Amino acid sequence: MTPKRQMAVTTLLIFGFSVALIGLLFFFLLFASSTKELKKINDDFYLHPFTVNRAASSLKISLYAMRDEALMLVLMRSRNEAWRNDSDQIDAFEREAYQSLDVVKANFLGDMSRVARIEKEMHEWHDIRADIMEDVRRGNFAAADNKVKAMGTPKFNEIVGQVDYVLDYSLHKASQFVADADYTSDADLYHGRVLALALFLSVLVTSVAVVLRVRCLHYVLMRQATRDALTGIHNRRSFLGLVQEEEYRSTRYEQPFSLAVVDLDHFKKVNDTFGHHAGDVVLQHFCAVCLAGLRQSDVLGRLGGEEFGILMPNTRSVEARMVIERIRLALAESVVHDGAAEIRITGSFGLVTSESLSTEQNIDSLFKTADVALYSAKAHGRNQVVAVAAAA
């Protein structure tokens, strides 16, 4: 394989590997991008909403517990040791409420002014509860009842309303997380399929291109190995192989074949008179004349120099002589033009048919018989066909 063809194959292979590498890189980038998007969704629409929802629910529970304990103290109208314990319990619930509020403040994604309002109203409710507890401690139960109804309960309802807003918003965000996650997953799946299809098609196209290029190179190499560089017909090695195959087929199926050996008359004189370029033109002209006169099944090969062989499968002697005579006549009547020079050329033909070929006779003896006929044609004045049967 020539360096140029090696470079062509190498270029195709490099291109194929490059396409595959780029495809893998795009897959990696798609995976990294998808992971980043899913992490953002997890942080913004999953971690925050559910954390806030849990904290807001705990806050609401603590608020109700505080309110229930405070109302119980007012209703019991007692200032005994149990009152002190219940008061401490209210303080514990309040601390839990503020802890939950801190979680909401750190993770809430909605209107933060509403969260600030909860904190402000919780401070106000703390002051109202303190006044009520002081009235209970002093035994002013009527005043405590009035403050519960006039200030405590309304303020509690305002706080619960703001907490419900936080709960509703977090649930909405959780639903949005599910929708966004589904959309992102579907989009990533679609992009992955498109990229996989593009990569598959790129690799397929590259593989087909490589296969076609290799087949083309194989064809070129086979042609170089079997064809004569000057005339384009079968070279000696290829032609002898075809004759060998035809001999096997003829022996097996008992079908005759004919072989003609051709030598151009006075070819050396053409080279000496008109130059080697003119000799090459004459050889090409002879091949063109032969190919025009031969049948589709016949084979023309160059045995060397100005000597050629013609193989005619499944052809008896009479039919073979007609074909060769037609070629001889066409060659003798033709004129080769090389620049201003007009060259006429003839050929001597030795023809042999395998009809009487014995089982002991091989290709070498067949060619020897054809050569004998060729020499006879030259000895009797050239430009003629001498046909003989193979020795039995």
Strand order in the sheet with 307-312: 299-304, 307-312, 258-264, 347-353, 385-389
Report the SS3 class of residue 339.
coil
pLDDT in tens, 359-372: 556 788 889 999 99
More confident residue, 343 or 84: 343
- Structure pTM? 0.53
Report domain extents, the chain: 3-203, 236-389
Instruction: Check if 3-203 and 236-389 are the same fold.
Output: no
Report the SS3 class of residue 255.
coil
CA–CA dist 74, 64 (Å, integer): 15
The helix or strand, by DSSP H or E, that contains position 387, with its residue range, turns out to be strand 385-389
CA–CA dist 321, 329 (Å, integer): 12
CA–CA dist 150, 155 (Å, integer): 9
269 within 8 A of 333, measured Cβ to Cβ: no
User: What pLDDT score does 307 carry?
Assistant: 96
319 is catalytic: no
User: What pLDDT score does 4 carry?
Assistant: 62
Q: Which two tokens stand for residue 113?
A: 């002014």
Predicted confidence (pLDDT) at residue 81 exceeds the cutoff of 60: no
Predicted confidence (pLDDT) at residue 31 exceeds the cutoff of 70: no
pLDDT in tens, 199-255: 667 767 767 776 777 677 667 777 778 899 999 999 999 999 999 999 888 888 888
Q: What rounded mean pLDDT belongs to the chain? A: 82
Say which CATH topology domain 236-389 has.
Alpha-Beta Plaits (3.30.70)
Which CATH number is associated with domain 3-203?
1.20.120.30
Most confident option among 87-96, 124-133, 218-227, 319-328: 319-328
More confident residue, 324 or 71: 324
**Cβ neighbours for 363, distance < 8 A, ≥ 6 positions apart:** 240, 243, 244, 247
More confident residue, 293 or 3: 293
Of 69, 121, 246, 306, which is the active-site residue?
A: 306
CA–CA dist 34, 184 (Å, integer): 8
